[in-house]
């Protein structure tokens, strides 16, 4: 899942992932999703500043928490589900994601 800034961000991987067949969803909420979270098998959460990039691995001072406590994992899953429910799937065929996000934001401002 991506925030809407990733549709046009210079180093975004959303288009590469979509072309590779990965289902990509865009959360239309204002602002950026600066958190880096991975939920593995509904059982483990990786969370922190780590960007899963070469720079994060070799040059930056990053942190990455490995969370196995099920009550904490449940909180992360609940937040992810909330974001996923409002997200729109990106469609390369007609790029409907931008239209849907703009339309939803216009409705929220009324």
Active site amino acids: 34, 36, 41
CA nearest neighbour of 80 among 2, 18, 23: 2
- For tokens 């409907």, what's the residue? 96
CB-based contacts of 13, cutoff 8 Å, min separation 6: 6
Strand stretches in 7-104, DSSP E? 25-27, 36-40, 44-48, 64-67, 88-89
- In angstroms, rounded to a whole number, what is the distance separating the alpha carbons of residues 93 and 90? 9
């Amino acid at each position: 899942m991506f925030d809407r800034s990733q549709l046009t961000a210079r180093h975004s991987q959303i288009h590469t992932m979509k072309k590779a067949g990965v289902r990509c969803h865009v959360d239309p909420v204002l602002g950026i999703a600066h958190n880096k979270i991975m939920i593995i098998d509904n059982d483990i959460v990786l969370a922190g500043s780590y960007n899963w990039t070469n720079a994060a691995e070799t040059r930056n001072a990053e942190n990455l928490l490995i969370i196995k406590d099920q009550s904490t994992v449940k909180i992360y899953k609940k937040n992810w589900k909330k974001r996923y429910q409002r997200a729109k799937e990106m469609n390369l065929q007609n790029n409907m994601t931008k239209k849907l996000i703009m339309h939803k934001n216009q409705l929220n401002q009324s």
